[in-house]
Amino acid sequence: MEVVIAPPGELARLAADAVERLVRANPEAVLGLATGSSPLVVYDELVRRHKEGLSFARARAYMLDEYVGLAADHPERYRNVIEKEFASRVDLAPGAVQGPDGLAADLQAACAAYEASITDAGGVDLQILGIGTDGHIAFNEPGSSLASRTRIKTLTKQTREDNARFFGGSVDDVPRHCLTQGLATIMSARHLVLLASGRAKAEAVHQLVEGPISAMWPATIMQLHPHATVLVDDAAASRLQ
């Protein structure tokens, strides 16, 4: 695992460099997109590069997770967030971005179909990740199976409190369930690029980099990945030895 400690603006550039290298080498690359606040600076940087000629026209993308039950037009539905923050600002083709269907009548079937779709696409080349204060990646909360695949999960109280800021500060408005790629799904991506900034992430980053591999800190599975890049600012790195 490669750990880079740098100022926030530099972290976005480093992540965007990895995406740009990939897309220039393979225009049909399959990207893995995260939501939450951490990747927004990366999307902004990629949009800037798109304006200077970087094209995503032949690329495809898979999202990490989705809330269950948020209305199709809800602004915090992850599909809408990705559309607003990234897809609509670059030249990704219509339908190029796939996400788990949190409105499916049969959620289990939707999860299985999503796994099959990622496999059919040849797998994810580069997965962008954030990390929760409790060490989750995607919505694999503490206790998640290290061998998990896309499935329905219940969000922890901590994650719902952390995400209340996207729902006008109201924890009650944060959905209780989500569909999420599993840890084994994420580990199948060929390159993992995780971003973390701020002191609130310091304990999770400490566990991720220096803790024992444990389902109680799900991100620790990344220690086993052959190509994982962890990009952190000083505050997020403040508990590293």
Site for ligand F6R in 60-99 (CB under 6 A): 64-65
Q: Pick the closer one to ligand F6R by CB: 58 or 76.
A: 76
* Segment interacting with ligand F6R (CB under 6 A) among 2-10, 32-40, 115-123, 142-150: 32-40
Nearest residue to ligand F6R by CB is 130
234 is catalytic: no
Say which residues have a Cβ less than 8 Å from residue 85's Cβ, sequence separation at least 6: 35, 40, 43
What own/partner pairs with CB < 8 Å and gap ≥ 24 does 26-30 have? Answer: 26/125, 27/55, 27/57, 27/58, 27/59, 28/58, 28/59, 28/60, 29/59, 29/60, 29/125, 29/126, 30/59, 30/60, 30/61, 30/62, 30/121, 30/122, 30/123, 30/124, 30/125
Q: Catalytic pick from 45, 66, 115, 136?
A: 136
134 catalytic? Reply is yes
138 is an interface residue for ligand F6R by CB under 6 A: yes
100 binds ligand F6R (CB under 6 A): no
Q: Which residues are catalytic?
A: 65, 134, 136, 141
Task: Catalog residues that contact ligand F6R under the rule CB under 6 A.
Answer: 34-38, 64-65, 130-132, 136-139
